[in-house]
């Protein structure tokens, strides 16, 4: 079965014409129907296809496609747009947990409560749009559909009033661009290099330094918000949603770190865009920013 490429941003319908939106918002969840009475946690993708065939769904391939996306492709940190045809955006939120939940004691008519994922919904009033480009992209029938990242940034995000939540742009841009749409640096590093157990522990310790909020904020105040490797600036590219966004990277090799290491935000930390930050962790010397810059053409 061909499943569309995962972008990390999803349209999911909260029930026909938004019937289940109040429950979704109240419970902090988004859900999907069809498998009303069967827990699919132990099913493989192939078994889900067989299940939809055996249950006699009118369009078993379509149903299997939707279930597979919801179960296997949506990840913690991904963005969800709660949208129902013909033209209403009910909410935007960020998936909070890795796993989804099967809720057994739910009636079939409340299908949006049967299989659910926890979502941190960002507060704003529902938005009705007549813009054909948005309606066409989000569709009128599919319950679960991947949304292209650039379309989300260019067309959907500007519809949300910034004043409705002071943290909306920061929350979304951090989720969409940095930590979860791409594999994390830590996961990427471990998949490339055959690290020992102790080296992996050390790498996690290294990353904890980069996630030190006080150190990161001080470094960003000193160095600014333009990538020190390639010169990319999020605000110049994405407008206000990219304002004051950049990632911090410390230059001391993780093998040399310990709990007593005293880092200077000016000398030991640089600021990098998400791409350069990920790539420098593949580089032979993560502490040599000047040598790394020579790779960039």
Domain positions in the chain are: 9-163, 185-293
In the prediction, which pLDDT does 214 show?
A: 76
E strands of the chain, at which residues? 9-12, 29-32, 79-84, 88-95, 101-102, 115-122, 127-128, 144-146, 247-250, 269-272
169 and 243 Cβ atoms separated by less than 8 Å: yes
Higher pLDDT among residues 256 and 217, named by residue: 217
In the prediction, which pLDDT does 72 show?
A: 93
In the prediction, which pLDDT does 186 show?
A: 39
- Per cent of the chain over pLDDT 70 is 74
Residue 150, classified by CB atoms within 10 Å of its CB into exposed (0-12), middle (13-18) or buried (19+), is exposed
| C-alpha span between 37 and 39 (Å, rounded) | 7
Write down the residue that tokens 């929350």 correspond to: 171
126 and 88 Cβ atoms separated by less than 8 Å: yes
SS3 110: helix
In the prediction, which pLDDT does 3 show?
A: 35
Phi and psi of 101, rounded to 5°?
A: -125, 140
pLDDT bin (cut points 50, 70, 90) of residue 244 is: confident
| C-alpha span between 156 and 134 (Å, rounded) | 8
In the prediction, which pLDDT does 170 show?
A: 55
In the prediction, which pLDDT does 43 show?
A: 93
What average pLDDT does the segment 268-281 reach?
87
Sign of CA dihedral 19, 21, 26, 30: positive
Q: Tell me the CATH number for domain 9-163.
A: 3.10.590.10
Number of neighbouring beta carbons within 10 Å of residue 133 = 11
In the prediction, which pLDDT does 226 show?
A: 95
pLDDT above 60 (res 87): yes
Q: Which two tokens stand for residue 147?
A: 């949304």
Q: Over the stretch 138-174, which tens digit does the pLDDT of each residue have? A: 876 668 999 887 788 778 877 876 565 445 555 555 5
């Amino acid at each position: 079965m061909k499943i569309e490429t995962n972008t990390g941003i999803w349209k999911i319908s909260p029930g026909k014409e938004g019937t289940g939106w109040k429950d979704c918002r109240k419970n902090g969840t988004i859900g999907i129907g069809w498998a009303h009475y069967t827990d699919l946690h132990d099913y493989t993708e192939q078994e889900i296809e067989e299940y939809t065939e055996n249950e006699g769904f009118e369009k078993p391939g379509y149903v299997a496609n939707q279930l597979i996306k919801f179960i296997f492709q949506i990840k913690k940190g991904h963005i969800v747009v709660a949208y129902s045809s013909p033209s209403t955006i009910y909410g935007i939120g960020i998936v909070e947990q890795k796993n989804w939940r099967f809720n057994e004691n739910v009636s079939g008519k409340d299908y949006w409560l049967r299989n659910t994922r926890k979502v941190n919904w960002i507060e704003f009033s529902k938005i009705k749009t007549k813009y054909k480009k948005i309606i066409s992209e989000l569709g009128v029938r599919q319950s679960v559909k991947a949304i292209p990242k650039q379309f989300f940034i260019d067309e959907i995000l500007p519809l949300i009033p910034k004043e409705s939540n002071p943290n909306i742009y920061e929350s979304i841009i951090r989720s969409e661009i940095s930590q979860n749409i791409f594999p994390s640096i830590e996961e990427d590093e471990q998949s490339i290099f055959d690290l020992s157990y102790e080296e992996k522990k050390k790498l996690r310790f290294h990353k904890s330094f980069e996630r030190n909020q006080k150190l990161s904020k001080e470094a960003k105040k000193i160095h600014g918000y333009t990538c020190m490797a390639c010169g990319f600036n999020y605000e110049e590219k994405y407008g206000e949603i990219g304002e004051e966004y950049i990632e911090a990277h410390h230059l001391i090799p993780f093998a040399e770190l310990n709990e007593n290491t005293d880092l200077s935000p000016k000398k030991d930390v640089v600021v990098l865009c998400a791409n350069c930050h990920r790539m420098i962790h593949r580089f032979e010397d993560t502490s040599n920013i000047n040598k790394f810059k020579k790779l960039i053409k």
